[in-house]
Amino acid sequence: MAEEQQKIAILSVFDKTGLLDLAKGLIKHNVRLLASGGTARMIRESNFPVEDVSAITKAPEMLGGRVKTLHPAVHGGILARNLESDEKDLAEQGISKVDYVVCNLYPFRDTVAKIGVTIEEAVEEIDIGGVTLLRAAAKNHARVTTLSSPNQYHDFLKELEQGDISEKTRKLYALEAFEQTADYDDAISRFFRAKYAGDGLQHLSLRYGANPHQKPAAAFMRNGHLPFKVLCGAPGYINLLDVLNSWPLVKELSRALEYPAAASFKHVSPAGAAIGVPLTEIERKVYMVDDIEGLENSPLAQAYARARGADRMSSFGDVIALSHKVDLPTAKIISREVSDGIVAPGYSPEALEILRKKKGGKYLVLQMDPDYEPPSEETRQVYGVSLLQQRNDAQISPSDTFATIISPKENSKLPGTAVRDLTVATIALKYTQSNSVCYALNGQVIGLGAGQQSRIHCTRLAGDKADNWWMRFHERAINLKWKKGVKRPEKSNAIDLLCSGSVPKSGVEREDFEKNFEEVPSVFTEEEREAWLSKLSEVAVSSDAFFPFIDNVFRTARSGAKYIAAPTGSQNDQAVFSTAEKLGITFVEQHIRLFHH
């Protein structure tokens, strides 16, 4: 019987924590140690038997230590399988199999984190041989055990005491090695991306993250270029969150309904979204665009007027998304509103000139590649944990999504305006922080409740906003007598107080309200509010998940709901359906849950 070949371990570590204990344990089990550079020196100085890697490569370390383990005698021994053909190759070359690879890498991430580190210094910390050792050993984990961290040594030695390393352990160690080399490569590419591609094409440094103390911050693509160009200003982290949620909303909305679309975004949810349905004369006044020249010839401008007009208070300081090339009337509307930035597929020269003057030349103007399609999978990191999911690429189709009418049964088809408004509401929800409920009318969002833990609170919030929106069409709100010099934000705030029934009764707050007017308007009585709100009708309501209780239906009815679209699946479905029918509301099953976080 042939004598069993002595097992071999190759050791090459930067972090030498626990190295001597590991060496002692391996020697105890008659493992031959081969090591490189400082690893060999430390083991030898502790009087443990160890050989330099050159004992099998027959070649010295060279190039100042850059080449130590890159040799067929090393990698042939690691990558060899238990195959007759591999055994034959090893015998012809005089190479022995390697059973254990112990390696950790130069501290590239720590080096580049130092202030003022040069490219030359960073380059010297890029581990070549170590990464190759880990990858080779991890690839051949069916036979080879890969140790990539000192944290593994204790359990490894404990298992070795019991005989040999199990297949399960080798698999887990191989995974850790692959994770480590992937993270290492990511750190390297991130450093050089910032150095060599920091022109905004692939990597874009941001001022800070969600808050000023969160530095550094960046936007980047691992493959290819960023899908947008910065034409003016400097984007922030939250700006880009808004941009990358609002752009797909308007792109999808425009594609679904074949109209130009617009969205007004704040804190990663739409304050308003709309398509370019022509504005009536009254709507132009309510949305403060009745003086915009050329408005009637620009569906895009009318779409943004609707999106901004849905909830002017929430839209203050918005990020704007527009599905089509920005024209002059649209730019004129934006020029006088308080806004942080805009994203669109293009800009006319006249429109771009206007926008570049906004905020003293610091207004954010992004041009989006309209043909860009994101990968099918998306990842994010929360508290150091990486999460992966398939991107929500569900399509909201006017012809298919709202085809199943649950009640009343005799309704076989929805009016075209209802389908349009349900489409607007549902696509808006797809890009709104959950829980969320949306009310829509006339091709636009009129009330949206986002990010509430309870669905009824979403429904109430959205309904209150819809009520507020409708109160702005009351003759008293339209014909307010403003003092000269009152600015648009102050007008919006005063209108909101009046229409929401929140006008202060007395004191400094009341004085602050009254100072805006030549003629102070009388507040709406409860009877006046009820009388006017009773005229709101044909409203379409969509929910990103099922309505669990009938209180949601009652609340939508108070704000003119005529149509509801929502997923089903609640134990209380039948009660919800029958309540809707009693209230004269058509309930449509929307088959796709649309949670968004």
Q: Which of 135, 119, 23 is nearest to 70 (CA)?
A: 135
Strand 539-543 relative to strand 517-519: parallel, antiparallel, unpaired? unpaired
Q: How far apart are CA 528 and CA 569, in angstroms?
A: 39
SS3 sequence, 76-113? HHHHCCCCHHHHHHHHHHCCCCCCEEEEECCCHHHHHC
Distance set, CA 94 to CA 59, 90, 133 (Å): 15, 6, 20
Assess whether 332 carries a catalytic annotation: no
User: What is the Cα 163 distance to its own chain's centre?
Assistant: 48
What b-and-e string marks burial along 163-178, b requiring 16 or more CB atoms within 10 Å of the CB? eebeeebbeebbebbb
DSSP state of 262: E
CB 355 within 8 A of CB 327: no
User: What is the Cα 404 distance to its own chain's centre?
Assistant: 32
Catalytic residue among 7, 16, 139, 457: 139
Assess whether 267 carries a catalytic annotation: yes
Query: What are the backbone dihedrals phi and psi of residue 410, each rounded to the nearest 5 degrees, phi first?
Result: -70, -15
User: What is the DSSP secondary-structure string of 463-477?
Assistant: HHHHHHHHHTTSHHH
Strand 339-344 relative to strand 539-543: parallel, antiparallel, unpaired? unpaired
- Sorted by sequence, the CB contacts under 8 Å of residue 350 that are 6+ apart come out as 328, 331
CB 78 within 8 A of CB 134: no
Exposure of 111 in the CB half-sphere (CA atoms within 13 A): 18
Catalytic residue among 7, 16, 225, 267: 267
SS3 sequence, 314-379? HHCCEEEEECCCECHHHHHHHHCCCEEEEEECCECHHHHHHHHCHHHHCCEEEEECCCCCCCCEEE
Any idea which residues carry the catalytic annotation?
Answer: 139, 267
